[in-house]
Structure 1
Amino acid sequence: MIANLAVIIILYRKTCGLSGCIIYYLVSIAVADLLVITTAVILNRIAGIFFPISFLSITPLCSLRSVLNYGTFSMSVWLTVAFTFDRFVAICCQKLKIKYCTKRMAVRVVAVVYTLSSLVNVFLYFIYEPVYIAKSIPWFCSIKSTFYTSLVWATYDWILTILTPCLPFVLILLLNALTIKNILIANRARKRLWVQKTVKNQSDPEIEKRKKSIALLFSISGSFILLYLLFFATVVFVRIADINYFSGSNFNDSNFILEESGFMLQLLSSCINPFIYAGIQGKVRDELKNGVKYSLSLFVRFYKCLKY
């Protein structure tokens, strides 16, 4: 949470040397990842393990937590797709780049992703019913039997499965493949022209300028592919093999281990982006160092005030 908050503050100050549209996408991804950590990790996993019976277990709040979990995951995933597509347009479609890769378009895309992710997943609130009712208070969440028999709910379930994670996973793979192909072709052409004009040992400044932007793109989308690969494979396996998603209380069952490992890596994907930014962008590291120094100086001043 601290890492994502630090990234949001640093990028919001616009001191990292990145273009405006890239900053909007990265900030929106960091906000979505922060929401995932808050809802899926703290309110769901940690609260469920250490506080199994609390006000969060009341059926309306339990249903709301499910909506927030799926909604924030959907936001994070589709913002990664949007960022990948934006960089694909910037690198491969020079004519479209002028109109599409702008701050205004980035704000619109982010707003659409946040809105649609919320609207699509809000219907999950209505698939649950209370496990039992004590003193007129409904407790815990159990999926209604009609969810498994109704054609409408079955269609909705398939739509959610396709939207997250199947379609984003395929789109990111496809966009990265096309981007890599275009970069290789463009670099060969530029190298031939550069060799004809200058000495061989001199580097092309345009290619050097692109390297960090391309490294940032491939690091974010590549980490997404690696960390979502097991979750994607689990979803496909469950659908094809037609087995239960959750294997009950048998923690040694291979299906249960596969599912939980996929969830673990999926949650980890919301934590890794700040370290990618710090590893690739030197100005982000400088801002982090300045922030740590400033925090330490404030702590020292506060300690001196208490001492005297």
Structure 2
Amino acid sequence: MILAIIGVPVNVAAIVILSRGQCGLSTCTTRYLLAMAMADLLFIIFEIILRHINAYYFQRNFLSITPVCSVQAVLLRALLDCSVWFTVSFTFDRFVAICCQKLKTKYCTKKTASVVLGTIGILLFAKNIPIYFRFEPDRIIDNVPWSCENKRSYFSDPRWIGFRIFEKVLTPLIPFGLIILLNALTVKHIVVTSRLREALKGQNRVEKHSDPEMESRRKSMILLFTISSSFILLWLVYVLYFFDVDDYFDDYSSYIFDKVAYMLRNLSCCTNTFIYMATLSKFREQLKSAIKYPVTSIIKLCNKQK
């Protein structure tokens, strides 16, 4: 409930503010951040509200019919994949922008961002279609199938076993490794470039000159590393869960470990807006204006009526 109360408004606020394009970001970067916010918002709606909260308060309704909850499972997994891989695509875009100046002009464009995000979304939704056929009804009442239970073949059929392994590798293992690798390469490039620029400009510890390009890179780097670090920290327990680390715990500790892993994974869909507020001054200004707007409008309306 807390995640829903926090996650929905903060992601809606991020979408509205980023859509206005007044945060001092390039159109390319804005596209990636918008896609991430939209994927996070939809994931919160499907995972937390329509699945957990709905199941807790309304145990049997339209969403509990087997075909409906099967479709919901497909969308849920696709949105989770999109949330993760949009973060990877943003990380790669910033890597190109910072480290590959020749490729930057061609790759870091609004058109390329739209193509990349659209392609990733289509492929990930197509990849999750088999999940629809993973379930069978738990019970049939008045010829209506209810609930989604895993078929027995899901745990024994080699095709399903292979699909589960493919799912684990695709999300989150490959993204986890890619984000760490791209950030490491970005840091290395920044360190080398900074040393070269300081040597060429004859900078020393006593006298320092402003460098607009390095300042721009610094801001971009802070945003990139903050988002990446948040992703890695919040997904770390979930990654360990995939390696069956909980097998070394007793039953109760294993249960707690699993719940914490999923809770932190879901929490990762609520943090980016707070990161924007912490790292982007213009985003903070836009958010303050949005919060003040209803109050100022009411005051102006009251003054007019007087």
* TM-score between the two structures when normalised by the length of structure 1: 0.91
Change (3 A) 1:47 1:187: same
Distance 1:48 1:184 in 2: 51
Give the secondary-structure state (helix, strand or coil) at the position aligned to 1:253.
Answer: helix
Contact 2:155 2:161 in 1 (8 A): yes
Report the CA distance between 1:182 and its aligned residue. Answer: 0.8
Q: Percent identity?
A: 43
Which amino acid in the other structure matches residue 257 of structure 2? L
Contact 1:194 1:204 in 2 (8 A): no
Contact 1:89 1:97 in 2 (8 A): yes
Q: Describe the superposition over 1:247-298 as per-residue Cα deviations: whole angstroms up to 9, x where unpaired.
A: 9xx9x62111111101100111000001111111111111111111112233
Look up the match of 1:17: 24
Contact 2:93 2:108 in 1 (8 A): yes
User: Of the candidates 152, 163, 168, which is equivalent to residue 170 of structure 2?
Assistant: 163
Look up the match of 2:97: 90
User: Of the candidates 174, 193, 200, which is equivalent to residue 193 of structure 1?
Assistant: 200
Which runs of structure 2 are paired with 1:1-308 in the superposition (5 Å)? 1-195=8-202, 200-237=207-244, 253-300=252-299
Change (3 A) 1:58 1:304: farther
Report the CA distance between 1:53 and its aligned residue. Answer: 2.2
Give the secondary-structure state (helix, strand or coil) at the position aligned to 1:81.
Answer: helix
Give the secondary-structure state (helix, strand or coil) at the position aligned to 1:133.
Answer: strand
Gaps of 5+ in 2: 1-7
Distance 2:127 2:179 in 1: 21
Which amino acid in the other structure matches residue 150 of structure 2? I
Report the CA distance between 1:198 and its aligned residue. Answer: 11
The root-mean-square deviation of aligned C-alpha atoms, in Å, is: 2.3
Distance 2:143 2:303 in 1: 55
Contact 2:98 2:217 in 1 (8 A): no
Contact 2:203 2:209 in 1 (8 A): no
Gaps of 5+ in 1: none
Report the CA distance between 1:202 and its aligned residue. Answer: 2.7
Contact 2:63 2:69 in 1 (8 A): yes
Contact 2:137 2:145 in 1 (8 A): yes
Give the secondary-structure state (helix, strand or coil) at the position aligned to 1:32.
Answer: helix
Instruction: Tell me how many residue pairs correspond in the alignment.
Output: 299
Distance 1:208 1:44 in 2: 44
